[in-house]
Amino acid sequence: MAGANTAYMASAPGEEPAPAIPDDGPGGAGSFTGTGSLDESTGFREFGDPAAAEVRLPNRPESARTARRLVRSVLLTRWGLSEALAEDTVLLVSELVGNAVRHTGAQSLGLRLRRQRGRIRVEVRDPSRGLPCLLPVHEFDVSGRGLFLVDHLSDRWGVDLLPLGKTTWFELRDEEP
């Protein structure tokens, strides 16, 4: 997974947002293809299943940890995807949630996970219409690497402006042939 095919897309008011990947049938967001059970520690009981519908997370730093657990559980347990893909995905969702917590002043954030045709898409929604900025990263920087990581590890990422906020998203290829 490299940033060579990365596209940054933002939709302005009055424009159509970048197409979301809709849920599909077997093997998609609503299906259970893995083995095992969803443990309470994943956060499903408290927050819901981000593959079934958007879940609301409080605007607190610990929401990044909750998002990682929710996404990891869906990828490994429900969809049966690889540990390597789960590691990249939880890193990137942590960066998007962390950015939303730090920069938006929102009371809560939305998290959604979709899968279709060999791709997974992770969306983080917040009420701010401020666009994230991909800044140059220098060797000794101690912060500001979040979007750099998203840009380099995802296949595509972007921002959809909404009437009341935005959705920042990224897509990765899953391992299906």
Give a yes or no: residue 147 inside a domain.
no
The one-digit pLDDT tens for each residue of the chain (177 residues) are: 444 333 334 443 444 443 333 333 333 333 333 334 444 445 677 788 898 899 999 999 999 999 999 999 999 999 999 999 999 999 999 999 999 998 888 899 999 999 988 999 999 999 998 888 777 776 666 666 778 889 999 999 999 999 999 999 999 998 754
- Enter the DSSP assignment of 78: I
Give a yes or no: residue 49 inside a domain.
no
Per-residue pLDDT, 124 = 97
CATH of residue 79's domain is 3.30.565.10
Alpha-carbon gap, residue 63 to 56, rounded angstroms? 10
Give a yes or no: residue 7 inside a domain.
no
Per-residue pLDDT, 42 = 57
Per-residue pLDDT, 155 = 96
Per-residue pLDDT, 84 = 95
Domain count for the chain: 1
Give a yes or no: residue 23 inside a domain.
no
Alpha-carbon gap, residue 22 to 139, rounded angstroms? 39
Q: Phi-psi category of 111—alpha, beta or left, where left has phi over 0 and alpha has psi -120 to 50? A: beta
* Structural domain of 126: 60-133+157-177
Please tell me whether residue 175 adopts helix, strand or coil conformation.
coil
Give a yes or no: residue 108 inside a domain.
yes
Give a yes or no: residue 143 inside a domain.
no
